[in-house]
Amino acid sequence: MEQETIVAVSTPVGRGGIGVVRLSGARAREVVAPLLRLRHELAAGRARFGEIVELDGSGPGRETNKDKCGDFSPSAENDNSNTQNDSCMTENDHTNAGPRVLDECVATFFEGPKSYTGEDVVEIAAHGSPVLLEYIVRQCCANGARLAEPGEFTQRAFLAGRLDLTQAEAVGDLIGSVTLEQARVAARQMGGALAKSVAPAKAELVGLIAEMEAGIDFAEDDIEVMAAERTAAKIAEVRAPLEALERSFAYGRVVRDGFRLAIVGRPNAGKSSLFNRLVERERAIVTAEPGTTRDTVAERVSMEGIPVEMIDTAGLREGADEAERMGIARSREAMAEADAVLLVIDATVGSTAEDRAVMEQGAAGGSGVIVAWNKADLVEEGDGGDAQAHISEARCGAPVSAAVWTSAVTGEGIGALRAAIVAAVAGGAGGVRAGGMLTNLRQHQAVEQAVRGLDPAGRAAAEGIPHEMVLLDLYESLRGLDALTGATTTEDVLRTIFSRFCIGK
């Protein structure tokens, strides 16, 4: 079924040097033709310079540019020379014979199916005046186009087979990226890294299903049914790479969405100083008086390319006044809501029962707890014990993800602390960064479904259950992989995915 021609502004809302209006559909050139006065006919893959004209007020009987200089519409042959075109347009600018010129523009035509959407696409680049861009869109709608819905251009690219679903999702991730690492990951996903990662396992699974089906359907033709041991071994071969891909979600999720880090500890342990060192500016007030921080202070930073919302909190103690007690209550709330907790301990004093309680609370809540033994510059050998002894102490009596020796004053251990924070949340990234990874819950659930289908299939094959029953589980696994790339996806899922895009993409 032929789809409607759609139009939208593809550049961000507001004023700018350049604004782009994009059209897609079989009638894209026909819709924009009355608006454009081009020096050369639109041609696939070519940018054409021209002008945007005002159609309002150019009624019947008025002499048009077509009458004076020939037809510059995309559907007509233009045999006039550039000199003649230039002179005609100059003459028109000084008379009221034709439509008034609103702006100069560059129009580019991408012919389907070798375009982003797989359809004919026209992009008009003009000056970024919101009034001008709105006028272009309104005139295109008046000429038969329809205003595009959020993400509809990318959705058409997916439906045309130009992108799989993981690549389409990566388009939105790339647009929304706020760090260079996020952009790198999204670019790899857009290039098909995730689909390529799952392709070998999917091919093995399809081959296994085909071989088992053949053994069942053509048993009378002396085609042997696959032995139970070989079936179980094949299932294990398919399962291993899918499990590795499933584990990549721990890192992919935090790269895409970031995480929250709560910095907690007793008063005067150096939390605010360490917070300022990590954000690389004087964001929190620091004084020698304990209890300076009375409320939470939040700041967004990037750690190894991952966006992190860091929260400096009030010191944990029995508050001396009502304001400090309220701040401590907020500190505990921040710790409960955080993805990771950084416990700052004064290395000159050592840990206390309160510190160990924080470690246990963070571990019980599922948050990774990282211990920073701060004020390392004030600890001397033989005075406060060696650094390793202090670090090891953090592991006694309560679980922690890592313990790092730091100094907010000198910067000692700050690099190691950043790495420990990311590792506590993302896990061991290993070789994940170089390849495809799962970056959202939908992808994770699809791979999880594929792995879950292999579990009963493996058990059934090992127990010698008939192949017909094993195949039911294998097909369940295959449906999960199809859902990952969009080979089989419900309309509701597509609507949810593309509705999150901005209009014009």
Q: pLDDT tens-digit profile of 169-225?
A: 999 999 989 899 899 999 999 999 999 999 999 999 988 888 887 766 554 545 556
Q: Distance of CA 111 to CAs 4, 151, 152, 342, 429, Å?
A: 16, 20, 18, 55, 42
For each of the domains in the chain, give its residue range(s) and CATH number, in order of start.
6-148 (3.30.1360.120), 180-248+437-489 (1.20.120.430), 257-426 (3.40.50.300)
Span 47-54, average pLDDT: 93
pLDDT at 79 over 50: no
Higher local confidence (pLDDT), 58 or 273 = 273
Instruction: Give me the half-sphere count of Cα atoms (radius 13 Å) on the Cβ side of residue 200.
Output: 11
Cβ pair 127, 17 in contact under 8 A? yes
Laid out side by side, the sheet with 306-312 consists of 297-303, 306-312, 259-265, 340-346, 368-374, 402-405
For residue 290, give the DSSP letter: T
Which of 63-77, 115-129, 301-315, 405-419 bottoms out in mean pLDDT, i.e. has the lowest? 63-77
Integer Cα distance of 382 and 389 in angstroms: 11
For residue range 456-468, list pLDDT tens digits in order: 888 888 777 777 7
Span 476-485, average pLDDT: 91
For residue range 361-412, list pLDDT tens digits in order: 766 656 668 888 988 888 765 444 444 444 554 444 456 778 888 888 888 8
